[in-house]
Amino acid sequence: MRQTLELTAHAKLNLTLKVVGRRADGLHLLDGLTAFCEFGDKIRIETRVDRDSLHLTGPFATQVEGENIVSRTLDLYRDATGLMEPIAIEIEKNIPIAAGLGGGSSDAAAVLRGLQKIYEAPLNPDTLRDLALSLGADVPVCLACKSAWMRGIGERLSNAGPLPPMRLVLVNPGIALTAGAVFRRYQGPYSA
């Protein structure tokens, strides 16, 4: 029987972010408070389709270039679970690309949550968290999708508790700036 699941990949906000060091492998160590917005990308996952598909719509769909993190997410999930049936994924891209709002990471995390729900949680929490981290440093906090203190390279999360509602205005100048590019250039100084 065909199943359809619709969910939101919420935009991520770093309310505080300190770079506290750098590992030998070049990854930066972080300490920050992360929260999530009500708005985000809309994701639709459908099973029992003829073939895999990934379709992007929305105001920022045309700005997605290269390999999509959601395709990698599906591949890694299949490797970990052995589930091979074709999946159709549609993403309405409402989160600006390369704007520091975790759009791709949040999309990947929402797809992981959705697949776990559809297939009745075949991966245990530790394996799911490891899979999320292998996709990117922001994916574990996006998987949790609640306010958290994020430390290490993003793998160490602790609950920040509920935050008061906030009204925010975010300004996007339309200039893409990936986290990877920013961190590659950052040489310090590091916060204490």
d(CA 169, CA 115): 33
Q: Which helix (H) or strand (E) holds 36?
A: strand 28-47
CB neighbours of 145 closer than 8 A, spacing ≥ 6?
Answer: 10, 36, 106, 109, 110, 113
SS3 of 51, please? coil
- CA-CA-CA-CA torsion for 118, 122, 126, 129, nearest 10 degrees? -30
Q: What is the pLDDT of residue 2?
A: 84
Instruction: Please report the DSSP string for 81-129 in residue order.
Output: H---S-EEEEEE--SPTTSSS-HHHHHHHHHHHHHHHHTT--S-HHHHH
SS3 of 136, please? coil
Is 93 a catalytic site residue? no
SS3 of 137, please? coil
- Catalytic-role residue among 41, 93, 107, 138: 138
Q: What is the pLDDT of residue 181?
A: 83
Task: Give per-residue pLDDT as tens, 119-168.
Answer: 988 999 999 999 999 999 999 999 999 999 999 999 999 999 999 998 98
Q: What is the pLDDT of residue 121?
A: 81
Q: What is the pLDDT of residue 35?
A: 96
Mean pLDDT of the chain: 93
Q: What is the pLDDT of residue 183?
A: 82
Angle, in degrees to the nearest 10, between helices 103-118 and 69-81 = 30
Q: What is the pLDDT of residue 86?
A: 95
Q: What is the pLDDT of residue 126?
A: 95
- Catalytic-role residue among 12, 41, 93, 107: 12
Query: Tokens 């920022």 identify what position?
Result: 60
Residues of the chain with pLDDT under 70: 192
Is 18 a catalytic site residue? no
Q: What is the pLDDT of residue 72?
A: 96
- Cβ–Cβ under 8 Å, residues 48 and 77: no
Q: What is the pLDDT of residue 30?
A: 93
Q: What is the pLDDT of residue 186?
A: 82
Q: What is the pLDDT of residue 65?
A: 79
